[in-house]
Amino acid sequence: MFFILLVLGLIFLAYIFRQVLVIGKSCKSNAKLHGKTVIVTGSNTGIGKATAIEIAKRGARVILACRSKQRGEAALQDVKRESGSNQIVFMQLDLGSLKSIRSFAENFLKSEPRLDILINNAGVVLVGRTEDGFGTMFGVNHLGHFLLTNLLLDRLKDCAPSRVVTVSSTAHNWGRVDFNYLNTHKDLREGTSFWDSVMIYGDSKLCNVLFTHELAKRLQGTKVTCYSLHPGSIYTELARNKSSFVQMVLKYMGMYFFKNAVQGSQTTLHCALQEGIEHLSGRYFSDCTVRKVFKKAEDDAASKKLWDISERFCGI
C-alpha cells in the first residue's frame, strides 16, 4: 500500500512540475486583430508557425517571412487551413543576407500599407558565415533582425500603437559581447565545437535583449513599444543542424522536459497582444511575466555600442 501511495505521489509531483515549470502560463489576451498586419519571421515551423496561426485566427493579415520558398509555401497552406483565414501571405526573407532583407523590406513597403506588429522570431544554432561574412548566429539571430526592424520602423510608427517583439532566450544569461572580437572578426567568439555553438548562441541572444533595451529608448514618444522574451525550453527544428545523436537526445527529453510549439508561443503572443504592458517597453519576459535581467543585459553603454556597430555593419 505504501509503495502504491509513493508511486501515485511521484506521478502527481511529476504532473505538477510539468504543468507549472515546463508548460507554464498562457496568453490571456482576447485582442482581435481585424485590419492589422503582422510579420512573423521564421514562421514556417515551430513556435513561429504556431504564433502565425494564432495571430491569423484573431483576424490579422499575417506575413510569413521565411528563408525557404518551398517550406514557406507549404507553411502558407498549413496556416491557412489551421487558422481558417485567407489573409496569409508568404514573402521570402533570408536573414543571413543583407541584400535579401533590403529586398524583403522594399517589397513589403510597396505592397502592404500597414505594419502593426513585427515578430522577430527566427533563429539558428549553426556555426559558419553568412553571405556577408558575419558569424551565422550573430548575422541571423541579431544583425538580420536589427536591419529588418530599422527598415520597417517608419511604417510601424505610422501605424502606432504598434509593437516589435524579439524572441530571445534564457541562454542570454550566459552570453557576453566581446566588442573587440566582433570588430575584428565580425563574430561573437571563436570556436566550432558543439559547446562553442551553445556559447555563441547565448551571445546572440544577449544581443537580442540589448537590442530591445536600446530600441525602447529610441522609440520613446512614438507609441511603438518593444519587448524581448524567453519562450521556454522547446523541442523544435532549432536543432535541425545538429547531429542525429543530439537530435535523438533532445527528442526523448522533449517528451517531458520541453514545451510543444503552441505552449512555446504563449509568451510571444503575450508580448504581441497583451493590453496594458506598454509601460514595460524594452523589458524582458518569460512565462508571460516581465522578469529582471542581469546588469549586462540592461547596460546602456553596451546596448548603444552594439547598436552603433550594427548600424556600421548594415551600412545604415
The pLDDT value given to residue 8: 53
What pLDDT shows up at residue 23? 54
pLDDT at residue 234, as a whole number: 73
Return the sign of the alpha-carbon dihedral for residues 132, 143, 161, 119: positive
Residues 62-74: what's their mean pLDDT? 97
Distance, CA of 285 to CA of 133 (rounded, Å): 32
So what's the pLDDT on residue 15? Answer: 42
Whole-structure pTM value: 0.89
**Regarding beta strands 284-286 and 289-291, do their DSSP bridges make them parallel or antiparallel, or are they unpaired?**
antiparallel
Domains along the chain with CATH numbers: 39-314 (3.40.50.720)
Sheet bearing 289-291, strands edge to edge: 88-92, 61-66, 37-41, 117-120, 162-167, 224-230, 284-286, 289-291
Q: What is the pLDDT of residue 233?
A: 78
Among 22-36, 91-105, 198-212, 263-277, name the one with the lowest average pLDDT: 22-36
Higher-confidence position of 18 and 40: 40
- What is the average pLDDT across 210-239? 88
pLDDT at 244: 72
Q: Is 235 a catalytic residue?
A: no
Say if residues 285 and 229 touch (Cβ distance below 8 Å): yes
Q: Which whole number is the average pLDDT over 191-205? A: 95
Q: Name the band, by pLDDT with cuts 50, 70 and 90, for residue 287.
A: very high
Q: Which of 181, 201, 235, 284 is catalytic?
A: 201
Who has greater pLDDT, 13 or 297? 297
Assess whether pLDDT exceeds 50 at residue 123.
yes
The tens digit of pLDDT for each residue in 42-57 reads: 999 999 999 999 999 9
**Quick check: 20 pLDDT over 60?**
no
- Look up cell 532549432; give the residue: 238
